[in-house]
Amino acid sequence: MSSAVALPRRTSYLTDRWSSSAAGTVALVVGFAALTALCAQISFRPSGWVVPITGQTFAVLLTGAALGSLRGIASMTLYALAGIVGLPVFAHGAHGWSQLAGATGGYIVGFIVAAGVVGWAAERGWDRTPLKAWPLFLLGEVIIFGIGVPWLKFDLNTTWAWAIHWGFAVFIPGEIVKAFLAGVTLPAAWRLRRRLEG
């Protein structure tokens, strides 16, 4: 009779070799929160739009995939907390509790959830090839907007049609491009890591 016991599958993510220490983990969590803050300043709000076009979602997708689920959640939580306590890390340098409690706060909450889900999937190899990574990152986008749009609707007491159009539909082309870029970037980073490891 075999006594073999099935072991849990080992999870891995792009930066796991650098996050095995406390110092490495802190550096990565802070670094990707800073990257998100930087991408938030790549911001444009066309006339009449409530939600600006930013580079944040691209950074969120990279954060989850590169850091894994727990560290990805930690990094995006740190980003949100930094803005709440007064650092100008949100779009257009905005900050304060009112940004989270206001109409666009749901997107920030969505960043945390999306980073966790994308990170969980990345730990299981879903970010290794473009054909797997693109659907994963599109899912991350759906999570962000899936939380952001209802939050927008209820905060502004508007109709679903208005919220879906101005909180989601107008962003679709840009978000597809961001998911595509992330889907190219992560597999390329994995190829570089394997090359460096020999």
pLDDT for 9 beyond 50: no
Residue matched to tokens 């749901």: 106
User: Per residue in 165-188, pLDDT tens?
Assistant: 999 999 999 999 999 999 999 999
Asked, for residue 184, whether it belongs to a domain, the answer is yes
CATH number at residue 88: 1.10.1760.20
Asked, for residue 9, whether it belongs to a domain, the answer is no
Radius of gyration for the alpha carbons in the chain, expressed in angstroms and rounded:
18
Asked, for residue 71, whether it belongs to a domain, the answer is yes
Asked, for residue 149, whether it belongs to a domain, the answer is yes
What is the widest separation between alpha-carbon atoms in the chain? 72
Please state, as a whole number, how many other Cβ atoms lie within 10 Å of the Cβ of residue 91.
25
- Determine the structural domain holding residue 55 and report its residue range: 19-43+50-190
Asked, for residue 38, whether it belongs to a domain, the answer is yes
Asked, for residue 2, whether it belongs to a domain, the answer is no
Mean pLDDT of 76-93: 96
- The pLDDT value given to residue 5: 41
Please indicate whether residue 122 or residue 3 has the higher confidence score (pLDDT). Answer: 122
Asked, for residue 32, whether it belongs to a domain, the answer is yes
Which two tokens mark 26?
Answer: 């802190």
Which two tokens mark 32?
Answer: 């990707």
Using CB atoms within 10 Å of the CB of residue 2, give its burial: 0 to 12 exposed, 13 to 18 middle, 19+ buried. exposed
Q: What is the pTM of this model?
A: 0.91
Residue 11 pLDDT class (50, 70, 90 cuts)? low
pLDDT for 196 beyond 90: no
pLDDT for 3 beyond 80: no
Is the Cβ–Cβ distance between 118 and 68 less than 8 Å? no
Q: Average pLDDT over the chain, rounded to whole? A: 92
d(C-alpha 81, C-alpha 75), whole Å: 10
Q: Domain count for the chain, please give it.
A: 1
